[in-house]
């Protein structure tokens, strides 16, 4: 039989997706010519099929459950805060998602109230989910598992079965505390948010580990956790200032920014009267006068890595091991050593 009369070999969209390491949605878009997808990716898909001497087994149409959307879950109380980390992380997710033809939806949850996420799941509005924070007994996890929805967490969790991307918060906190101790500071107060967030547990662990390294007994009165409101911040600051600390170490940039303004209002000078540092760096801390010593994490890279991990999971790849990214401690004027008088 002449070659031109031989039946054309069929290849499934699933086969193409697995061979190229992309999602079935991406293959579908490449073949249909619809949807946001780069020309380079479209060309890869078509070239692969052509080189295989085949044609798609079915016409490239997205299935009813494929939406080309990812959802990022955000605590509802974050909406009212200026959080550079969240903004940058979201930017990294959006860029990585767009490169593979996906858009990003937002979903707000509040404690046990997961109604908005439930609605999105029931209406099949997304193909995968990124949790922007990790907390103990997170109701979102069970909800996503019940719906068999692929998801990735930004932050450490104690469940190794959850794909997760994080910075080593404990190591970063330990390094910052160690450097402050090396500057001769001994009465370092620690202010952090709710311990229900794993990130705050890790930051506290790093602080205590650094004190233990030098054999310094921690003063429980210098440690205040659970700071989630202006009133709690002021109460915590009042309490630690009574203990006459030589430095205040804040769990994040927003808290450090607010503490800096409160110290100025009380005419307490940084670094002359007290040192100040943060366990997260952003324009909020770098833009103050004096600029605040802080730990720098690449939030854009973190968001991008989480998105790529999710897309790989959706493409059928085995769940990756937890990914831990690096950090850099940046010492600025807020902790500088003063000349002896």
Let me know whether 232 and 313 are in one domain: no
Tens of pLDDT, residues 243-288 = 999 999 999 999 999 999 999 999 999 999 999 999 999 999 999 9
Residue 142 lies in a domain: yes
pLDDT of res. 66: 81
Helix (H, G, I), strand (E, B) or coil at 335: helix
Confidence of residue 40 (pLDDT cuts 50, 70, 90): confident
Can you give the residue range of the structural domain that contains 173? Answer: 169-297+329-335
Let me know whether 109 and 81 are in one domain: yes
Let me know whether 303 and 159 are in one domain: yes
Tell which residue, 154, 136, 252, 155, has the closest CA to residue 199: 155
Let me know whether 177 and 274 are in one domain: yes
Q: Specify whether the CB–CB gap between 300 and 89 falls below 8 A.
A: yes
Let me know whether 248 and 287 are in one domain: yes
Confidence of residue 57 (pLDDT cuts 50, 70, 90): low
Angstrom distances, CA of residue 29 to CA of 63, 65, 310, 323? 11, 14, 19, 30
Find the helix or strand (DSSP H, E) in which 235 lies.
Answer: helix 230-241
CA atoms in the 13 A half-sphere facing the CB of 321 = 2
The rounded Cα 26 to chain-centroid distance in angstroms is: 25
Residue 62 lies in a domain: no
**Tokens in use for 171?**
């190591």
Angstrom distances, CA of residue 58 to CA of 32, 164, 247, 308, 337? 11, 35, 66, 27, 70
Tens of pLDDT, residues 98-108 = 999 999 999 99
Top-ranked range on mean pLDDT: pick from 7-21, 51-65, 152-166: 152-166
Q: Which of 79-88, 189-198, 305-314 has the lowest mean pLDDT?
A: 79-88
Domain count for the chain: 3
Domain containing residue 228: CATH number: 3.40.50.2300
Let me know whether 107 and 84 are in one domain: yes
Residue 3 lies in a domain: no
Let me know whether 199 and 293 are in one domain: yes
Q: Specify whether the CB–CB gap between 155 and 305 falls below 8 A.
A: no
Which residues make beta-bridge pairs with 113?
110
CA distance 138 to 134: 7
Confidence of residue 79 (pLDDT cuts 50, 70, 90): low
Let me know whether 289 and 189 are in one domain: yes
Let me know whether 153 and 193 are in one domain: no
Residue 265 lies in a domain: yes
Tens of pLDDT, residues 18-32 = 888 887 777 877 776
Residue 271 lies in a domain: yes
Let me know whether 75 and 152 are in one domain: yes
Residue 236 lies in a domain: yes
pLDDT of res. 62: 47
For the beta carbon of residue 286, count every other beta carbon within 10 angstroms: 16
Residue 261 lies in a domain: yes
Tens of pLDDT, residues 107-133 = 999 878 899 999 999 999 999 999 998
Q: Specify whether the CB–CB gap between 127 and 69 falls below 8 A.
A: yes
Q: What Rg do the C-alpha atoms of the chain give, in angstroms?
A: 25
In percent, how much of the chain has pLDDT > 70?
91
State the DSSP code for 151: E
């Amino acid at each position: 039989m002449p070659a031109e009369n031989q039946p054309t070999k069929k290849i499934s969209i699933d086969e193409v997706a697995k061979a190229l390491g992309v999602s079935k949605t991406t293959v579908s878009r490449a073949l249909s010519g619809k949807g946001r997808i780069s020309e380079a990716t479209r060309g890869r898909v078509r070239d692969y099929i052509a080189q295989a001497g085949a044609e798609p087994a079915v016409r490239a149409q997205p299935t009813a459950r494929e939406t080309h959307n990812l959802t990022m879950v955000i605590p509802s109380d974050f909406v009212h805060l200026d959080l550079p980390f969240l903004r940058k992380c979201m930017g990294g997710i959006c860029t990585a998602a767009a490169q593979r033809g996906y858009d990003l939806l937002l979903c707000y949850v509040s404690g046990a109230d997961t109604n908005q996420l439930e609605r999105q799941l029931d209406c099949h509005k997304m193909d995968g989910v990124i949790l922007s924070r990790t907390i103990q007994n997170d109701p979102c996890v069970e909800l996503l598992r019940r719906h068999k929805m692929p998801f990735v967490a930004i932050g450490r969790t104690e469940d190794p079965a959850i794909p997760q991307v994080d910075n080593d918060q404990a190591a970063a906190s330990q390094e910052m505390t160690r450097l402050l101790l090396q500057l001769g500071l001994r009465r370092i107060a620690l202010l952090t948010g709710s311990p229900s967030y794993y990130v705050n547990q890790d930051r506290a662990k790093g602080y205590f580990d650094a004190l233990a390294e030098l054999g310094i007994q921690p003063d429980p009165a210098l440690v205040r956790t659970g700071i989630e409101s202006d009133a709690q911040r002021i109460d915590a600051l009042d309490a630690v200032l009574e203990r006459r600390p030589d430095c205040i170490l804040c769990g994040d940039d927003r808290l450090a920014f607010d503490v800096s303004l409160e110290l100025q209002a009380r005419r307490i000078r940084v670094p002359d009267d007290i040192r100040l540092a943060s366990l997260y760096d952003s324009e909020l801390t770098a833009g103050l006068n004096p600029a605040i010593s802080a730990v720098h994490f690449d939030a854009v890279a973190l968001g991008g890595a989480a998105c790529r991990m999710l897309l790989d999971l959706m493409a059928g790849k085995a769940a990756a091991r937890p990914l831990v990214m690096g950090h850099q401690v940046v010492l600025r004027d807020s902790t500088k050593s003063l000349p002896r008088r």
